[in-house]
Structure 1
């Protein structure tokens, strides 16, 4: 079963002009009708760091969740953010960005990797106590531009640490578009075979022209959890390449269907969401 995770939070967070709260809620309400497994809808982080997401709690209050089977995921960067998110029973998943790169971990959460791992363990304990599931993103999972050490073996060490904490979902994140089909395949096969109790996902930033072989490599390696953002909005500001944005969900759906996989999305509602996205992200 393919799980599609739609990421309006990732698409919105880097935009300079503030998107009105009502518009955010209207867009996410439309996404809730499409049939995605999960909506990465907002984040509980410092409003100074990510001003676009300062209204996440208010957006949540405007969502109509009763007719939707989609689950909600909120990104957090520290224990305080996790505690804020845990107040809302509507949220199913908390997502934490853990980096394989020491430099990027400092830039992204103002923590060392050692401190971030300690934070992950504390948040995991909170999630277990409150009946939530922690999704850990391994950013720079396919390499980094900072000269920090990287290897598939290093990634496996991170996975082993997370497994010992009881983490059940890990998403490999290609923050700057460096993943190759061969690296995707090897990373998934090694970890999926060694840690069968963990669900591994893929959060790509990629040039659209080279996306299809990457998704197909992940599928062949057994990946069934994919993140995307309609029209490919968002991505990493450090990439300095406007083509290395989020995977466009419509491209992802097309590749999956071409390879014989059912996505379970409602095409009519999906079309409406794409129209609305063009207005939201004009």
Structure 2
């Protein structure tokens, strides 16, 4: 990306506030890789994640403990984990789980700090994603929280379909707020609002996110948004102006949710997110040389 383009693309998104904010970036190689049909060699996965570990992200969403029948690409998460060079990195690891059995497997690994569980407020998508109802999944959240408390882990619950859904299930802001309240009441400390199929808009983000941040002052509210390249920056800006300080993204916007089984809508592109935040005058203290190496190396992963 040449210097003129970098400057010109952000003229539409001038700095919006002087206040310095502590921003957490969660890089998501797991999300980026999970929908790829050809199997990525385990050593190649590990080498890529090892590069990302040196960049300085707060957290890497690196793998998952789900059925290999559901996500065959990630069947080697344990092997990848054994090859990661964690000694010189301050980044924490997050693994996705879909049920209690996955949580029981994940907690056996001291290297993992966070267990991520997708909790959808769309009945259709919850069954599609975790083969369970909303009620059953809420019970799963309770059990996961108990396991985390006993094993020094932290649960990250994704409020999936938080900005609407394409399946015709009832959706409104009151439903979002109801389930957010229910999850926080159970002890969820990190709640990440996800649009899953890219249905969020700047208007929805600015309507939904600020009241949750204000209401749940002791809960970390983040966003896990999906987007086409044309709408990435406007979504980033809307979330930033809403007071969000936790952002999930993936290098070059790779990935999307294969369980949606629709045309994949990619993740927010990390390079767009970095550029936007630094344009606001906020220092992220990332190792940009290692970031450049990871971008180059990604060509071996995402063919």
Which TM-score band applies after superposition, normalised by the shorter structure?
over 0.9
User: 1:259, CA displacement in angstroms?
Assistant: 2.3
Cα distance in structure 2, aligned partners of 1:80 and 1:73: 16
Aligned partner of 1:157 among 174, 178, 183? 178
1:116 aligns with 2:168: no
Q: Does structure 2 retain, via aligned residues, the 8 Å contact 1:231–1:277?
A: no
Q: Check whether the contact 1:2–1:262 (CA below 8 A) recurs between aligned residues.
A: no
| Offset at residue 261 of structure 1 (A) | 2.3
Q: Is the 8 A contact 1:140 1:173 kept in 2?
A: yes
Counterparts of residues 55-204 of structure 1 (less than 5 Å): 55-204=76-225
Corresponding residue number in structure 2 for 1:281: 302
What is the CA-CA distance between 1:263 and the residue it aligns to?
Answer: 2.2
Post-superposition offset of 1:236: 2.7
Whether 1:41 and 2:57 are equivalent positions in the alignment is no
CA RMSD of aligned residues (A): 1.1
Q: In the TM superposition, what whole-angstrom CA distance separates every residue of 1:106-159 from its partner, at most 9, and x where no partner exists?
A: 000000000000000100000001010000001111000011111111111111
8 Å Cα contact 1:176/1:239 also seen in 2: no
In 1, the alpha carbon distance for the partners of 2:170 and 2:253 equals 29
Tell me the distance in 2 between the aligned counterparts of 1:128 and 1:57.
22
Task: After superposing the two structures, state which structure 1 stretch, 259-268 or 75-84, moved more.
Answer: 259-268
Question: Contact (CA 8 Å) 1:171, 1:201: kept in 2 or not?
Answer: yes
Deviations 1:216-265 (A, max 9, x none): 111111101001111111113437445x2111111111111222222221
Q: Which runs of 5+ in 1 are unaligned?
A: none
Aligned length: 281
- Is the radius of gyration larger for structure 1 or structure 2? 2
Runs of 4+ in 1 over 3 A off after TM superposition: 237-242
Are the counterparts in 2 of residues 92 and 132 from structure 1 also a CA contact under 8 Å?
Answer: yes
TM-score of the aligned structures, taking structure 2 as reference length: 0.91
The 1-side partners of 2:251 and 2:300 are apart by 12
Secondary structure, aligned partner of 1:205: coil
